[in-house]
Amino acid sequence: MAAVLAALSRDGAVSVPLLAQSATVSLAAAAERCSYQPEVKTVGAADRIVKTEYSACEQVSDVGLYAEFQQAFQALLDESFQKIDPYPFSSKLALNSLVLQRYEPGQLGITPHRDSSGAVNLIAIVNLSGVAEFYRCDDRQGAHAVQLDTTPGNVIFLRAPGFLSTVVRPFHFVTGIRSIRYSLGLRQRVESL
């Protein structure tokens, strides 16, 4: 985990092979059975425009495979980060938001953006299946884009406000969708004040 933290500190994002193939296949099969809503929109104005074209499932059951995965993943992170001194987050890490995303060939994906400031500490995107390109970049124009590995079973970690007591939110985007891609996003959401 020290290497992951170093990469996050330096680059803002890192891809790590984590899941066994059998777990990845099971999670992907379950993702295929979920109900998705289109996320086709343009938000923002002037030089802050973000375009999206994918589908999302935010109504994931509190029981079953995804709930079990979320608990096991949280336990793994808790065990790993407890060994790090000082603790790398401003508050206790608690991934309390789970969203499935489906990207289909020919879709735009999502243009360079930063995750909402309501997501804190750490973001984890679990690649379940399919082929698409995920990039970390410097700005909304996609400058200095660096491709991260989206091999199924890899987890892309992104830093969020609260990581090492900073407010950094790295720009990133998804493009080049060549086969149906399923991913699972885990975030720690905080209520707006």
- Residues 123 and 106: their CA atoms lie apart, in Å, by 26
- Residue 61: predicted pLDDT: 86
Percent of the chain at pLDDT > 90 equals 89
Residue indicated by tokens 């970690």: 157
Using DSSP, state whether 15 is helix, strand or coil: strand
Q: To the nearest whole number, what is the mean pLDDT of the chain? A: 95
Q: Enumerate the β-bridge partners of residue 15.
A: 156
Angle at 56 between CA 52 and CA 62, to 5 degrees: 150
- Residue 47: predicted pLDDT: 84
Please tell me which residue, 96 or 192, carries the higher pLDDT value.
Answer: 96
Q: What is the pTM of this model?
A: 0.95
Q: Residues 83-120: pLDDT tens digits?
A: 899 999 999 999 999 999 999 999 999 999 999 989 99
**pLDDT class for 193, splitting at 50, 70, 90?**
very low
Residue indicated by tokens 């401003």: 90
CA distances for 85 relative to 28, 34, 41, 138, 158, angstroms: 35, 40, 42, 29, 20
- Residues 93 and 190: their CA atoms lie apart, in Å, by 11
Query: Domains, the chain, ranges and CATH?
Result: 2-189 (2.60.120.620)
Q: What is the mean pLDDT of residues 129-136?
A: 98
Residue indicated by tokens 């493009």: 175
- Residue 63: predicted pLDDT: 84
**pLDDT class for 1, splitting at 50, 70, 90?**
confident
